[in-house]
Amino acid sequence: MLVGDVIRKYRKQVGITQEEMARRLGVTTPAVNKWENNNTQPDIALLAPIARLLGITTDTLLSFRDSLSSEEIAAFVKKLDQDLETREYAEVFTEAKKTLEEYPNCDQLIWQTAVIFQARRNIDQIRDKEKYDDIIYGWLERCLQSEDGNIRKEAAGSLFYAYLQKEEYEKAQSYLSYLAVDSPERKRKEAVVFSKTGKKQEAYRAYEELLFTNYQFISLVLNDLRILYMEDGNHEMAWKLVDVQNQAARAFEMGRYNEVSTGLDVAAWEKDVSKTADIMRQILDALDHIGDFSQSSLYQHMIFKEMDPGFADRLRKSLVGGMRDESFYYMRGNELWEEILEKGLDSPLRSEDTLVSDSNQTS
């Protein structure tokens, strides 16, 4: 709020006219009128007397507030959107610029205002739209110094896309330094730059690495969520999440082992003899394909370490050893389980073995 607006607001609140105010301050009525219309500013020597007369502090008179509340920012942004629907871009821009000059330390206000005007500038038919760039980008640059990490990240993202659109790729990439090195969003933006600058192989590899690592993350989240439902005794949701996790492994082409390796803990939790035996049989049968994801065309530009030839055998022994654990006490005496214990240490079950074994399951 400008000084003149503050004077008008509080003069009316205390219930005095412009003439009365002028008389008490020893100035002319036209002088007060010019203040309130923001045509001129009061002399610095009059600031304290004006504040006393209006019953406010000089900080309030000069609108010395570092920031606005979240509610005030939300109201300002809402009005900004409405104004841009019904009024000229240039007019609304000029008014908003004055407000931001009043609150130079309100990062949230500056960032949201910049984003709105940048979006409108790109979507609407704005005349001479380039002339607003320096100011909007300046607002976003200011936000890069914010103490709020989220505002820094969002401002950097906005600047990245702004310069990407201008095909200034080196400038665009410079803003990625504001994102965490291991951030998926940073990696994706780097891939975009690679693809725009002729580095196709690097772009392919970056995108594939994002697919691979995001599958790992999704799988962990689904696993944690399944455990949470199990703690609450929700059997239906536990099995639903097993199914979703298996589908995710299939969709991301992570190989047969990853498609069947979930669900064993749910079956053991329910002490379901048939499901426990069947899932363990599928896991052991898929062990020799544990690294099949490295052969998927989805990850053809990635370089995987060669798997230790003995890894599958060691994992098989570990799994079979765990089958003798007390947690699987309920499986003792089951024909298929005993057959798995007997054959599992030597080799994966043959398909004909599994068919015979399936017919001998007991519940």
What residues have CB less than 8 Å from 112, skipping those under 6 apart? 73, 77
Statement to judge: residues 276 and 130 lie in one domain: no
Give the pLDDT mean for 1-8: 83
- 100-104, 204-208, 233-237, 246-250: which has the minimum mean pLDDT? 100-104
User: Chain-wide mean pLDDT for the chain?
Assistant: 88
CATH code where residue 25 lies: 1.10.260.40
Give the pLDDT mean for 192-213: 96
Range of the domain at 218: 203-359
pLDDT at residue 283 is higher than 50:
yes
Give the pLDDT mean for 183-205: 96
pLDDT at residue 250 is higher than 80:
yes
CATH code where residue 117 lies: 1.25.40.10
How high is the pLDDT of residue 308? 81
Statement to judge: residues 210 and 185 lie in one domain: no
| Proportion of the chain above pLDDT 70, given as a percent | 93
Max Cα distance, the chain (Å): 108
- 33-42, 70-79, 252-261, 334-343: which has the minimum mean pLDDT? 334-343
* Backbone φ, ψ for residue 296 (5° rounding): -70, 140
Statement to judge: residues 222 and 354 lie in one domain: yes
How high is the pLDDT of residue 64? 59
Q: What is the pLDDT of residues 106-156, one digit of tens each?
A: 999 999 999 999 988 877 777 787 888 999 999 999 999 999 999 999 999
CA 322, 324, 328: angle at the middle one, nearest 5?
Answer: 90
The residue out of 27, 61, 95 marking a domain boundary is: 61
How high is the pLDDT of residue 1? 63
The residue out of 169, 196, 223 marking a domain boundary is: 196
Give the pLDDT mean for 303-308: 86
Q: How far apart are CA 111 and CA 154, in angstroms?
A: 8
CA 45, 48, 53: angle at the middle one, nearest 5?
Answer: 125
Q: What is the pLDDT of residues 214-233, one digit of tens each?
A: 999 999 999 999 999 999 99
The residue out of 196, 222, 237 marking a domain boundary is: 196
Q: How far apart are CA 230 and CA 242, in angstroms?
A: 11
How high is the pLDDT of residue 161? 94
Statement to judge: residues 23 and 85 lie in one domain: no
Statement to judge: residues 326 and 218 lie in one domain: yes
In single-letter form, the type of residue at position 145 comes to Q
Helix, strand counts (H, E) of the chain: 20, 0
Structurally, the chain folds into a number of domains equal to: 3
pLDDT at residue 350 is higher than 70:
no
How high is the pLDDT of residue 315? 85
Q: How far apart are CA 294 and CA 304, in angstroms?
A: 7
Selected residue with higher pLDDT from 281 and 245: 245
Q: How far apart are CA 197 and CA 203, in angstroms?
A: 10
DSSP E strands, 21-165: none
Statement to judge: residues 348 and 214 lie in one domain: yes
